[in-house]
Amino acid sequence: MLADRAAALLFYVALAAGAITAVVWVLLGEPAFALDRTVTVLIIACPHALGLAIPLVTAISTAKSARSGVLVKDRLAPNTSSSCCDWPARSRPRSTVSV
């Protein structure tokens, strides 16, 4: 799987960048900034791996659903299906009170 290898590579590059950032800030004598800068680097660098992983998970789950007999016509439908469960609450008649 090409996406798995690319996500793993990006993860390790982000981890290495975070480690280098921590070491450099500690060596510069700013240990208070080391943690802040390291977390910032990891947060900025890691979403790239998630950007590859999320579509892959969607494709795999759709394929597994199809093998189990569930036909998914729209790949975005499972993401929006959580809003379908509150329809009874919206369809209740509103009570009006006259004074």
SS (H, E, C) the chain: CHHHHHHHHHHHHHHHHHHHHHHHHHHCCCHHHHHHHHHHHHHHHCHHHHHHHHHHHHHHHHHHHHHCCCCCCCCCHHHHHHHHHHHHHHHCCCCCCCC
Q: For the chain, what is the mean pLDDT?
A: 75
Most confident of 6-10, 38-42, 69-73: 38-42
- Write down the pLDDT at residue 23: 95
pLDDT > 70? residue 43 = yes
- Write down the pLDDT at residue 49: 59
pTM: 0.47
Who has greater pLDDT, 19 or 89? 19
- Write down the pLDDT at residue 48: 63
- Write down the pLDDT at residue 40: 86
Q: Residue range 49-78: average pLDDT?
A: 75
